[in-house]
DNA sequence: TGTACATCAGTGAACGCGCGTTCACTGATGTAC
DNA sequence: TGTACATCAGTGAACGCGCGTTCACTGATGTAC
């Protein structure tokens, strides 16, 4: 059947948004195209009208995730007073909500190791998107120059992602909650000198 | 054929050691039992004389990797003067050799996100092994009590793992080398006050 | 000491499954005349 | 205005593949008698 003019673009966006969730939840190998499409009430065959490969989708979904989480983190920082923005970012990152909901959370905490195993060409696209994201959030950190703030944001972001990954692996709820508080204190100290 | 008395145990250890490498290199889904066994000049069918499942092997291989890297890190710290042990650990972790060779490197930097997606029962075993590893290396960090050192080691170890994962994803060699230096400075400052 | 049998690490074919991708087809709507 | 044709997002069967796991079998050596 023929569809209205913008229909294709809308479907494409729906796929990217759903993929951004599936990849973070299941990992890139755990998430299957057919399940993803069924989730959208579509069949898997149609997928290739929108993307050349699963890997192309991964790149777009990763970027989409960065934008989503970037918006949320920026909003949290904007709500805070000027001298408390770094703390607001860190507290948001190690919030119970973010820890318990990897599906809608930071893609670095969910997919960094996957990214590191990709082919060089793919990593170029992924790291490029990440660089924008990091620069964006670096604006909320202390530092004399943008370059210094970006460098700090890269260390802070990747470090927090690693720590959040580990905390998510902790089986005991209470231990996990306490680790979140430890993490907030550790990274706040690390970033504010 | 009947084999000498210790033969089975030796084969088992060979499998665990090889798996520790394969899992870190390929990820736990990328590493296949049949390839692993072929690497050891064995056939895949024999695998189940040694392990109940691939997941059981993963737990043992992860623990094995922690012990290996723990030995190397401890050796690096032991070589340093008492007041430079934390720096020695961090420099070793962000060495070019460790960055370029994930296969023999820190399993947290290679597999943490995979661990976080496992069933609770599996995570209990994995985190238990990790706890010992962290406490062991925490002894080289500054801190008044063992509890404080362990807490610091957990933040430092997971943070460095996340940052190393990201650095490994950077496509450009020069940028990657510079990021390693940035990381050394960032974490040294974070852990020594 | 010699013989018959038991053991069991390792073999390799087979099973069942899910995956990424391809492809001939569908059919409602847009377009050309 | 009406009609014939083109378009193309979506369908669903099919392909080829690799995986984890199972299982009947092998055969050199240990053990029982």
Q: Which two tokens stand for residue B16?
A: 């665990």
Select from A113, A157, A158 the Cβ nearest to the Cβ of B113. Answer: A113
Q: What is the dihedral of CA B182, A118, A89, A162, to 10 degrees?
A: -70
Q: What is the DSSP letter of A183?
A: H
Query: Mean per-residue pLDDT for A10-23?
Result: 97
Q: Is the CB of A11 under 7 A from strand D?
A: yes
Residue indicated by tokens 């974490």 = B187
pLDDT given at position B185:
98
Query: Mean per-residue pLDDT for A48-58?
Result: 97
pLDDT given at position B19:
98
Query: Mean per-residue pLDDT for A132-150?
Result: 97
Q: Is the CB of B13 under 7 A from strand D?
A: no
Are the C-beta atoms of residues A57 and A19 closer than 8 Å to each other? yes
- Average the pLDDT over each of A147-156, A166-175, B6-15, B164-173 and give the range with the smallest value: B6-15
pLDDT digits (tens, 9 = 90+) for B62-82: 999 999 999 999 999 999 999
Name the nearest CA neighbour of A161 among B158, B152, B111, B175. B158
- In window 22-61 of B, residues with CB < 7 A from nucleic chain D are 31-35, 44-45, 47-48, 53-55
pLDDT given at position B86:
98
B3 band by pLDDT with thresholds 50, 70 and 90: confident
Query: Mean per-residue pLDDT for B89-96?
Result: 98
CB contact under 8 A, A108 and B30: no
Select from A109, A158, A169 the Cβ nearest to the Cβ of B163. Answer: A158
State how far the Cα of B146 lies from the Cα of B136, in Å rounded to an integer: 10
pLDDT given at position A5:
72
Q: Which strand D bases fall within 7 angstroms of a protein CB?
A: 6-14, 18-24, 26-30
The overall average pLDDT reported for chain A is 96
Are the C-beta atoms of residues B77 and B88 closer than 8 Å to each other? yes
- In window 23-52 of A, residues with CB < 7 A from nucleic chain C are 31-35, 44-45, 47-48
Length of chain B in residues, anyone?
A: 193
A54 alpha-carbon distance from chain centroid: 18
**B187 vs A contacts (CB less than 8 Å):** 155, 159
- One-character DSSP codes across A49-79: GT-S-HHHHHHHHHHHHHHHHHHHHHHHHHH
- One-character DSSP codes across B77-108: HHHS-GGGHHHHHHHHHT-HHHHH-GGGS-HH
pLDDT digits (tens, 9 = 90+) for B45-59: 999 999 999 999 999
Work out the number of other CB atoms within 10 angstroms of the CB of residue B51.
19
Are the C-beta atoms of residues B88 and B76 closer than 8 Å to each other? yes
A1 band by pLDDT with thresholds 50, 70 and 90: low
Work out the number of other CB atoms within 10 angstroms of the CB of residue A131.
14
Mutate to test the interface with B, among A23, A113, A153 (most CBs of B within 10 A): A113
B4 band by pLDDT with thresholds 50, 70 and 90: confident
CB contact under 8 A, B115 and A170: no
pLDDT digits (tens, 9 = 90+) for B17-31: 999 999 999 999 999
Q: Which two tokens stand for residue A157?
A: 């972001």
Residue indicated by tokens 């406490």 = B135
B1 band by pLDDT with thresholds 50, 70 and 90: low
Residues 89-148 of B with CB under 8 A from A: 102, 108-118, 120, 123-124, 126-127, 130
pLDDT given at position B137:
98
Name the nearest CA neighbour of B112 among A113, A96, A158. A113
Q: Which residues does A135 contact at the CB level (< 8 Å), separation at least 6?
A: A146, A150, A153
Burial B4-19 (b: 16+ CB within 10 A, else e): eeeeeeebeeebbbbb
Percent of chain A at pLDDT above 90? 95
**B171 vs A contacts (CB less than 8 Å):** 120, 123-124, 127
A78 band by pLDDT with thresholds 50, 70 and 90: very high
Query: Mean per-residue pLDDT for A53-74?
Result: 98
pLDDT digits (tens, 9 = 90+) for A91-117: 999 999 999 999 999 999 999 999 999
Q: Which residues does B93 contact at the CB level (< 8 Å), separation at least 6?
A: B73, B106, B160, B164
pLDDT given at position A182:
98
Closest-lying nucleotide for B8 based on CA to C1': C9
Are the C-beta atoms of residues A160 and A104 closer than 8 Å to each other? no
């Amino acid at each position: 059947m023929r569809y209205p003019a913008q229909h294709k673009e809308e479907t494409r966006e729906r796929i990217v948004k759903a993929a951004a969730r599936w990849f973070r939840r299941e990992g890139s190998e755990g998430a299957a195209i057919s399940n993803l499409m069924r989730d959208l009430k579509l069949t898997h065959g149609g997928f290739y009208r929108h993307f050349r490969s699963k890997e192309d989708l991964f790149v777009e979904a990763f970027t989409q995730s960065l934008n989503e989480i970037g918006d949320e983190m920026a909003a949290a920082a904007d709500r805070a007073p000027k001298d408390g923005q770094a703390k607001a970012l860190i507290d948001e990152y190690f919030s119970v909500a973010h820890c318990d909901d990897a599906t809608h959370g930071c893609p670095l905490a969910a997919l960094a190791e996957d990214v590191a195993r990709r082919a060089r060409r793919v990593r170029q696209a992924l790291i490029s998107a990440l660089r924008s994201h990091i620069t964006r959030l670096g604006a909320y950190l202390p530092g004399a120059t943008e370059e210094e703030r970006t460098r700090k944001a890269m260390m802070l972001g990747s470090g927090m992602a690693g720590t959040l990954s580990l905390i998510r692996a902790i089986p005991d709820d209470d231990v996990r909650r306490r680790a979140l508080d430890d993490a907030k204190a550790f990274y706040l100290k690390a970033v504010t000198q």
